[in-house]
Structures are given as structure tokens and as C-alpha cells.
Amino acid sequence: MSSAGTVLIQGGTVVTSKRSFVADVRIEGETIIEVGPSLSDSTADQRIDASGLLILPGGVDPHVHLSRRPSLPKEACSGDDFLSGSKGALAGGVTTVGEIASPEADEGVLDTIDRVESDVRSKSLVDVFVHPVLESASRKLEQISKLPAREQPSLKVFLMNPSLAENPAGLKDAVRRAADAGVTVLFHCEALSELSAARDALLKQEMTSLRYLPESRPTSAEVRATEQAIAFCRETGATGYIVHISCAEALGPCAAARVEGLPIHTETRPEFLLLSSAHHRGEDAKLHVIIPPLREDADREALWRALVDRSIDLVATDDAAFWSKAEKLAAPDSFEALRMGISGLELLRPLLFSEGVVKGRISVERFVEATAAAAARIFGLYPKKGTIAVGSDADLVLWDPKETRTIAASDLFSRTGFTVYDGWHVTGWPRMTLRRGEIVYREGEVLASPGSGILIPRRLPSTEDE
């Protein structure tokens, strides 16, 4: 019965989004075939001792940017790509990512997926699903209804994109096509009208320094666009997913929409839980440029509460590390010339475990839900990804809940050469990561080869339980 490639992980504590229990996990090939206490080890080809460790499902981060954004200058952006970004992901216990892929030239959403798939095949170490970006509401919209057959049923819109904001009828048509096909729509929520008004007011007073980044992208713009996104979903029947909620006021419309029965999913990012707008006025302001900007401590506290009560479903990184430290620092001190984005994949789970679980804000099961299971459910990957069960992909992380680290940019796989968490002390760190049964990271070393990650097929989202 035993064949080459059976692995037995022994003596750890298995954690899913529902419960934690001491168990062994048996893997054959790429798949988990048995989970239970004290499994027989006579047939195992390889044994891994997990005593004292947690066994977590591989992380699923549904919001990253590892393929190059066509609008960025090719010669200037020496940050991360699928290779370095996915190395960091594996080192941080994330085995699947959702790539937000912008179109090149006149690509439709299917063309974009094809192009990104070839990038994944040559470079990625993690499994990938793709949310193609709809940049124009008048171009190749017929491709939207074909996304489910391509097994990638989601797309992304940036509501402040002028070609969408100035064509609301076209945008609604696109969202309706998505709704009719069962395609989930991810919304970046900032309203162009509010951004323009804020910018004009600041320009009039010659207040263009980066220190005014928060004022240039006010919470009112986020709230307004969140309400627009929800209205589109209400009118068309689309399932909506609100990315990187940054402020307390944006939570209200989402909660109200759910009470109404609308399928609205919600995400925040680690920075909105852990950092506040003072960083936009500090010494390292240029390194902290992200969109939306950092908000106030009251917003952070509201987002933590929302994570606890599940009005926020999950935490994703928005990893978008296009610019190196030197390139970020060379930017002018102006919100008119933003070099936005930071790396996040390697530290997502260590930060959320330490600040959330160790500090008693969330349970370890909720941590697993917010960093793996929820995204897998929402995007049609569950239970293949996001849990530890018979038949699931053997994406597993052996996690030392006691290990303490001081974060240093020089220890990370990101090519950007900096992290906004430099010097933070964390408790809890991955020891080993398996992706579809293969040991891809162990004790500081990434072992997977480029292109071993795959474009992972998805079904339409289900509510299937464990």
C-alpha cells in the first residue's frame, strides 16, 4: 500500500479555522490522505517530527502584485517579482497567492490571465490564482463571461480609475456581466471625485509634501467608493469583495450591506492594523507610501474589532514591492509623484500571529481563518486549499509558536532591501513549509525551484463546510 513519497508528520497540533487538535498528518504525493492521532508509521517513507509545533494550512493571500505593472518604468523598478516574492511567501508560510494582474495594451481579462500564467510557469514557487484588472469598461467585455470556464472567476476594478469613474454606465454593464457569470468583483474603493477635490484644495495651499498624503486621499473618498461598490452589487446581483479597508467609517456600509443580505466580502491589510498615519510624517515617510494611506489609531482599533467579530473576513498583504529602498527614497517629496507599495508576504503570518494570537486579540483558529481558510472559501479554492483534511492539497506549515525574532530587512527574501517593520519583535515563526507535499522551505532556506508553482484552477465559490 505504501508508495514512494509518503510522508508522516508526527506529534504536532493541527489547527484549522474551526479547531485545534493533536494529530499526525499523512501525505501521499501532493495530497493529505489521513489525519488523526498516533497514525501507524510503518509505511511512511519519510517522518517529520512536529512535536511542540503547530501544523497550519498553507497561507492563502488573495491580494498580491507579483507580475509587473505595465505602467511602471521598466528600468527603474528593481523590486520583487514572482521569484523573489514567492520565496518570501514560502518563508512566511504562504503557499497560495491571488495575483492582481493589470492588462497590457489592449488585453481583455482572459488575455491577461494567459500572460500571467506564463510568468507563473517560469518563476513562481507558490500556487497562484489570478484576478485580472478591468481597466476599461468599453474593451473586450465579452471576455468577462468566459472567466468561469477559464477557472479564474474573479476580476478587479479600481473605482478611482478615470476611464471607469467617468463611464459609470459602462462599469455597471461590466459588473452586471460578472454577476450573470458568477464572477466575483474585487473593488479598490477610492472615489475619483473626492480624491480630485482633496488634491485641488491642498494644491491651492501649496501643501504637496508627502506628509499630506493622508489628507490627499481622505477616508471620505474611501467611504464614498465603498458605497458605490455596494450599490453596483445591489443593482446587478454581483458578489463583491472590498480590498484593503483602511478606516472605521468604511466598515459601516459593508456591515449594513450584509444585514441587507448582499454577498459582500471584506479585507484589510497588516499595515492598517499595525501602523498609523504618523509614519507619513516621519523620517521614513517615503518608505511608507501605500494606497490608501495609513490612518489613525482609532481606525486601527476599529479594524481589530472588525477582525474579531468577522465584519472583516481576512487579512491580505497587497504585496506590491515594485520599488527598492533606494528607488523609494529617490522619489520627490510630493503626493503627486507616489512610488507606492511595499513587500508583505514574508511577514503577514508572523506579524498577525504575534500581534493577534500571542497578544490575545484573536484565537489561533481565527488566525488560520483570516490568513488561509476565508480566502480559500471566498475564491473557490476550499477545501483543496485553506484547511487540513483528507483530500486537501498538502500545503502545510510547521509553526513554532514560541520562537522569537527581531525583524531585520537583511534577513528577508524581498529584493527591496527594506521593511516597515524593521526592529519589531515577534513571537511565532515558520520552521518548515510544504506545498503540495513538497518541502519547499526549511529553517531559513527556500528549497523549491522556480516554476514549481502552478496556476490553480478554481470553481465558483461555495459555502462548503469542513
Q: How far is the CB of 269 from Zn ion (least distance, A)?
A: 9
Pairwise CA distance, residues 428 & 224, whole Å: 38
Q: Decide whether 345 or 397 has the Cβ nearer to Zn ion.
A: 345
Angstrom distance (rounded) from CA 254 to CA 243:
12
**Among residues 318 and 327, whose Cβ is nearest to Zn ion?**
318
Q: Residue 156 CB, nearest distance to Zn ion (Å)?
A: 8
CB of 112 to Zn ion, least distance (A): 15
Per-residue contact flags (x/-) with Zn ion for residues 291 to 330, judged by CB under 5 A:
---------------------------x------------
Give the nearest distance from C-beta 145 to Zn ion in angstroms: 25
187 with 159: CB under 8 angstroms?
A: yes
Q: Give which of 99, 87, 107 is closest to 60, Cα–Cα.
A: 99
Contact 59, 372 (CB under 8 A): yes
Name the residue whose CB lies closest to Zn ion: 318
What torsion do the CA atoms of 91, 387, 247, 77 make, to the nearest 10 degrees?
Answer: 30
Q: Are strands 264-268 and 314-315 parallel, antiparallel or unpaired?
A: parallel
Q: Cβ closer to Zn ion: 124 or 354?
A: 124
If the CB atoms of residues 26 and 217 are measured against Zn ion, the closer one turns out to be: 217
The distance of closest approach from Cβ of residue 317 to Zn ion in the complex, given in angstroms and rounded to an integer, is 9
Which C-beta is closer to Zn ion: that of 13 or that of 226? 226
Residues 367-396 that bind Zn ion (CB under 5 A): none
Q: Which of residues 415-444 bind Zn ion (CB under 5 A)?
A: none
Least separation in angstroms between CB 442 and Zn ion:
30
- Using CB under 5 A as the binding rule, whether residue 267 contacts Zn ion is answered as no
Applying CB under 5 A, the site for Zn ion has a residue count of 1
Residue 61's alpha-carbon distances to 25, 248, 270, 316, 421, in angstroms, are 23, 23, 12, 5, 19
Q: Is 93 left (phi over 0), alpha (psi -120 to 50) or beta?
A: left
Of 81 and 318, nearer to Zn ion (C-beta) is 318
Shortest separation between residue 291's beta carbon and Zn ion, angstroms: 8
Alpha-carbon gap, residue 159 to 177, rounded angstroms: 17
Please say whether the beta carbons of 368 and 57 come within 8 A.
yes
CB closer to Zn ion, 135 vs 318: 318
Non-local (6+) Cβ contacts of 256 within 8 A are: none
State the minimum distance, in angstroms, from the CB of residue 188 to Zn ion.
7
Q: Which is nearer to Zn ion, 24 or 318 (CB)?
A: 318
Which residues make up the interface to Zn ion (CB under 5 A)? 318
